[in-house]
Structure 1
Amino acid sequence: MVMVTTVRDYINRMLQDISGMKVLILDSHTVSIVSVVYSQSELLQKEVFLVELVDSISMSKEPMSHLKAVYFLRPTSENIQLMRRQLATPRFGEYHLFFSNMLKDTQLHNLADSDEHEVVQQVQEFYADFVAVDPYHFTFNIASNHMYMLPAVVDPSGLQHLCDRVVDGIAAIFLALKRRPIIRYSRTSDIAKRIAQEALKLMYQQESGLFDFRRSEVSPLLLIVDRRGDPVTPLLNQWTYQAMVHELIGIKDNKVDLRNIGKSSKDQQEVVLSSEQDAFFKANMYENFGDIGMNIKKMVDDFQQVAKSNQNIQTIEDMAKFVDNYPEYRKMHGNVSKHVTLVTEMSRIVEERKLMLVSQTEQELACNGGQGAAFEAVTNLLNNENVSDIDRLRLVMLYALRYEKESPVQLMQLFNKLASRSPKYKPGLVQFLLKQAGVDRRTGDLYGNRDLLNYALNMARGLKGVENVYTQHQPLLSQTMESIVKGRLRDVDYPYVGNHFQQARPQDVIIFIVGGTTYEEARSVSLQNATNSGIRFILGGSAVLNSKRFLKDLEEAQRITRTTSNVI
């Protein structure tokens, strides 16, 4: 299943069977779901002349009986209440209600009771309760993402809310797939185990009829893992295009906010970075930063050739041809200036923060041994006036994760140095990270120390040299996928839930990371799928992380933990 196509198909079905002028009404979640796969111009082609948020519709009293209202909402109790109020005093001629997940019988009855004016034409469940960032990458955009780090006793209702949202989203994925999975989870993660058990209960007991598709193929595998199993990946600087844009500028729902970048023009305050809508981005999203610069130069040269030929308008025919091609010309112009702006801004940040220097040490910490040299390199960077506070913090965290058991004295020296050099540094944050994601809390073999084969591969890679020192790191997810392909994912590390076991090699594997995914991991999934191993991998998570978001979640979890322990 390609995630983007699935959501687009649902939206197509939603809009094309309703003729005439329409208003599309969304909530704060479904607006993200729709916006990443459907453009404004495509909505216009489907005769959608207005897009509104469901809570703002409640505030307006103006009747619009000439419009047909198409609602696409998550089936939350808040949305049902809003719908009931809006149906009591209808503003539109017709109401077509679509929900992104399973409706409860009571919710359906409540809606029916509220439809006294009989304006509701249909109510359907369309299982698109996820944001399809890329064909093999989805997210749930959970705002309270830090909850996964908290013990259940700290905020039981908050943790339950996180679990419910993840289980609902996962259920929608498999209802869209029309499959019921075999479920495994990361042994050392309580939250992964809890989600796995609740997903099993929903799919095999509470809604077993809905998930009984009676298909004979091998069941897909759902593997639920914890971000704390690999805290290194979200802490590293990135050097491939999509991941780097998110790390240095930020991507939200495939959009990049350029308002704070001086040279961006008025029509480029916010730009779209979508592999579905931008051919250049699709071809270059996983390329190294050095190659991107060369490829953008070629795109600029190509555009200049087109611009030059357009300037040479001498006849009526030339003019007509130019007018015909004008939308393409404008699109090409917009694309060129967008990518030039992004690369120029990232180059400025790299230079300002001396990221090539910082990143070389980060990669050494993530990929190679040598504790003495690492301590010296990190100390030198902490003393470097050009290194920013956040980069100093990440370096000490990466060192601590790598050498937490080997050098407590030197680790303490780095803590003290960090506190003295970075006034914004929150005391104890590195120690909190070790408590959350230290070696005793991790399932996988993050540094290839336990598995002799991994150790040998790392040695071979080191001897042979890596094509690019800045992209030598491989996320733990790569190793996990390789284990699945080879049938070597250990039951002791990733147990099954219930009495449902994988009898044969799965053809589809959904790996869900509680705590969030990274674009580096999405790249690994795409590259793995390109090898045609016979298994298709899909990656999902509670949020899409960069180092800033990961550290923010860590700080919030630390703050709540401290507050709770003080109260106790």
Structure 2
Amino acid sequence: MPFKPTIFLYHILKILIRRHRYKRIKILIRKLVSIVNVGYSQSELLQKEVFLVDSIYKSKEPMSHLKAVYFLRPTSENIQHLRQQLASPRFGEYHLFFSNILKDTQIHNLADADGQEVVQQIQEFYADFVAIDPYHFTLNMPSNHIYMLPAVVDPSNSQHFCDRVVDGIASIFLALKRRLSYEFCAFCSQNLIHTHKLMYQQESGLFDFRRMEVSPLLLVIDRRDDPVTPLLNQWTYQAMVHELIGIQDNKVDLRNIGKLPKDQQEVVLSSEQDAFFKANMYENFGDIGMNIKRLVDEFQQISKSNQSIQTIEDMAKFVDKYPEYRKMHGNVSKHVTLVTEMSKIVEERKLMLVSETEQELACNGGQVAAFEAVTNLLNNESVSDIDRLRLVMLYALRYEKESPVQLMQLFNKLASRSAKYKPGLVQFVLKQAGVVENVYTQHQPLLFQTMESISKGWLRDVDYPYVGNHFQQGRPQEVVIFIVGGTTYEESRSVALQNASNSGIRFILSGSVVLNSKRFLKDLEEAQRIARSSTAVI
């Protein structure tokens, strides 16, 4: 059974807003903004008689006539804020739901603070992640650059990063009701492994689900094993929108692209709510244009039929269909706007030309031709600074050992042509990720080959050391892949296609964030800044 981005919030609301029990609930207090936003729109919450969605850090006005539902991560910070509110309650009743495992000490602390006995229930509801697509989730971790730094550089944030990763992995296995018994790990952080084992030992009873013949496999991967995938331009619909415009929690912010109606300034791209997007999210950009034209033609036909309203019966039929008509109108406008904007960006930045060279760098040989192509693009006034930087990074990752002299020439050229170029950033990515060798055939991310190796039983423990309590032979039926440092929509597409191939294994992709090239470069810059200010050797 795949993840459904709305399923967890649906069950929470089903529990909370049954009319015979919570007829007068009017407010949902939350800290997990992303999970709520992906699961439900504001209008859908209103239909459930949830009239106000607020944050525990902003809410102050007393509303003792209302019952409140809190949906929180069980962090020390959230528990402390909740204790302060319970000491002087704003609401008549508190119904507390936590997205992950709640410690006994935290329950005792809440009980001590509840002097007026306003807390009616406390439940754990395992949804400590954002389900973007049926087989893709993210933790939306803000300090994603931490994975690039040794723990000695920033011990506190390093441990916090590991704790958050472990919490997210635990939550997904609890949500799936799967026993986590062994895993392989290419991200060999001792902090991560130690934290994971400690949590599993302490909470082993929670994972005591029905045993399967072969336990699910957890594969933890380091983003630095494949730095090329997040650097490449994307040409399938979902991945391209994220690369050129940006997607956050299945929403696209269009306020900066021109004058648009208010209802189109932020649009939703969700395979659960948009049939056209679901059918086209993995299609190539050229095919999307033709498919959108068909969508427009279909809408025009419906519009013409609605213009021929001549009788009361015709009017009644139109009114019945009006919500669907409005929804279709919104969908057509949304996709036309997105494709129009992306076409403009592609032309302005000469991305067809840039991408052709990227493909040569990622897939084919020929260092001399590659050097010439990159040099020409660095001299092209239409090529943006970020595209110049990505091209030099891709060249460096491919040809560092073959052409150090030419690489230095590209460094100098990049510094002279790009005012925003950060000195040493290309060298930093080489230290972090090393030289890439023959893993990008036909633009397939390294993850694709990893999934094939799992399906064929060829996963090498030299590359992915086993770190579990006991090893089980046999091909797993379920594999959860967690990429420390972030996933990409190209990798999400690979997972969806692999699952559709009926290989007998279900893959679920997860990671600390969802990357595009801008976010990946931002993480690199932040890690480089901290590394330079530290005395630690990177």
Shorter-chain TM-score: which interval? over 0.9
Greater alpha carbon shift after TM alignment, 111-120 vs 476-485:
111-120
- Is 1:413 equivalent to 2:409 in the alignment? yes
Q: 1:152 to 1:424 in 2, by over 3 A?
A: same
CA contact (8 A) 1:183 1:223 kept: no
Counterpart of 1:492 in 2: which secondary structure? coil
Cα distance in 1 for residues equivalent to 2:212 and 2:245? 46
User: How far is 1:120 from its partner?
Assistant: 1.3
CA contact (8 A) 1:64 1:92 kept: yes
Cα distance in 1 for residues equivalent to 2:30 and 2:90? 18
CA contact (8 A) 1:197 1:497 kept: no
Alignment of structure 1 residues 500-515 onto 2, 5 Å: 500-515=470-485
CA contact (8 A) 2:185 2:467 kept: no
Counterpart of 1:350 in 2: which secondary structure? helix
User: How far is 1:2 from its partner?
Assistant: 2.2
Q: 1:508 to 1:26 in 2, by over 3 A?
A: farther
CA contact (8 A) 1:27 1:55 kept: no
Cα distance in 2 for residues equivalent to 1:8 and 1:20? 18
2:47 corresponds, among 45, 48, 72, to 45
Deviations 1:280-310 (CA, angstroms, capped at 9, x unpaired): 1000000000000000011011001111111
Structure-2 residue corresponding to 1:451:
none
CA contact (8 A) 1:137 1:539 kept: yes
1:34 corresponds, among 33, 36, 42, to 36
Deviations 1:379-425 (CA, angstroms, capped at 9, x unpaired): 11111111111100000000000111111111111111111111110
User: How far is 1:517 from its partner?
Assistant: 0.3
Counterpart of 2:207 in 1: which secondary structure? coil
Structure-2 residue corresponding to 1:196:
193
User: How far is 1:199 from its partner?
Assistant: 1.7
Structure-2 residue corresponding to 1:256:
252
Deviations 1:322-359 (CA, angstroms, capped at 9, x unpaired): 11111111111111000000000000000000000000
- Is 1:356 equivalent to 2:352 in the alignment? yes
Aligned length: 535
Alignment of structure 1 residues 142-291 onto 2, 5 Å: 142-187=141-186, 189-191=187-189, 194-203=191-200, 205-291=201-287
Deviations 1:401-460 (CA, angstroms, capped at 9, x unpaired): 011111111111111111111111011000000000013xxxxx8524xxxxx9xxx5xx
Alignment of structure 1 residues 9-24 onto 2, 5 Å: 9-17=10-18, 18-24=21-27
CA contact (8 A) 1:23 1:51 kept: no
User: How far is 1:127 from its partner?
Assistant: 0.5
- Give the letter aligned to residue 127 of structure 1: Y
Structure-1 residue corresponding to 2:117:
118
Counterpart of 1:124 in 2: which secondary structure? strand
CA contact (8 A) 2:10 2:39 kept: no
- Give the letter aligned to residue 35 of structure 1: N
Deviations 1:135-161 (CA, angstroms, capped at 9, x unpaired): 100000000000000111110111000
Cα distance in 2 for residues equivalent to 1:522 and 1:265? 31
Structure-1 residue corresponding to 2:449:
479
Cα distance in 2 for residues equivalent to 1:499 and 1:141? 29
Cα distance in 1 for residues equivalent to 2:210 and 2:134? 26
Structure-1 residue corresponding to 2:91:
92
Q: 1:567 to 1:405 in 2, by over 3 A?
A: closer
**Where does structure 1 lack aligned partners over 5 or more consecutive residues?**
440-444, 449-453, 459-471
Structure-2 residue corresponding to 1:499:
469
User: How far is 1:566 from its partner?
Assistant: 9.3
- Give the letter aligned to residue 54 of structure 1: I
Deviations 1:117-146 (CA, angstroms, capped at 9, x unpaired): 222111000010000011100000000000
Cα distance in 1 for residues equivalent to 2:398 and 2:151? 28
Counterpart of 1:301 in 2: which secondary structure? helix
2:368 corresponds, among 369, 372, 386, to 372
Greater alpha carbon shift after TM alignment, 48-57 vs 211-220:
211-220
User: How far is 1:90 from its partner?
Assistant: 2.1
User: How far is 1:264 from its partner?
Assistant: 2.0
Structure-1 residue corresponding to 2:62:
62
User: How far is 1:92 from its partner?
Assistant: 2.1
Cα distance in 1 for residues equivalent to 2:519 and 2:79? 32
Deviations 1:164-187 (CA, angstroms, capped at 9, x unpaired): 001011111111112222443444
Structure-2 residue corresponding to 1:519:
489
CA contact (8 A) 1:99 1:124 kept: yes
Deviations 1:234-292 (CA, angstroms, capped at 9, x unpaired): 00000000000000000000000000011421211110000000011000000000000
Structure-1 residue corresponding to 2:104:
105
Cα distance in 2 for residues equivalent to 1:62 and 1:202? 38
Counterpart of 1:82 in 2: which secondary structure? helix
Structure-1 residue corresponding to 2:381:
385
Cα distance in 1 for residues equivalent to 2:437 and 2:333? 40
Structure-2 residue corresponding to 1:404:
400
Structure-2 residue corresponding to 1:292:
288
Cα distance in 2 for residues equivalent to 1:24 and 1:431? 51
User: How far is 1:495 from its partner?
Assistant: 1.1
Alignment of structure 1 residues 286-325 onto 2, 5 Å: 286-325=282-321
Q: 1:142 to 1:363 in 2, by over 3 A?
A: same
- Give the letter aligned to residue 184 of structure 1: E
Normalising by structure 2, we get a TM-score of 0.96
CA contact (8 A) 1:21 1:48 kept: no
Greater alpha carbon shift after TM alignment, 19-28 vs 344-353:
19-28
- Is 1:490 equivalent to 2:460 in the alignment? yes
Q: CA RMSD in A?
A: 1.8
CA contact (8 A) 1:245 1:251 kept: yes
Counterpart of 2:101 in 1: which secondary structure? coil
CA contact (8 A) 1:25 1:54 kept: no
CA contact (8 A) 1:183 1:200 kept: no
Cα distance in 1 for residues equivalent to 2:133 and 2:537? 44
User: How far is 1:91 from its partner?
Assistant: 2.5
The percentage of aligned residue pairs carrying the same residue is: 77
User: How far is 1:567 from its partner?
Assistant: 12
Normalising by structure 1, we get a TM-score of 0.91
Cα distance in 2 for residues equivalent to 1:145 and 1:27? 23
| Runs (4+) off by over 6 Å | none
- Give the letter aligned to residue 397 of structure 1: M
CA contact (8 A) 1:130 1:138 kept: yes
Cα distance in 1 for residues equivalent to 2:100 and 2:212? 25
Cα distance in 1 for residues equivalent to 2:275 and 2:359? 31
Structure-2 residue corresponding to 1:465:
none
Counterpart of 2:51 in 1: which secondary structure? strand
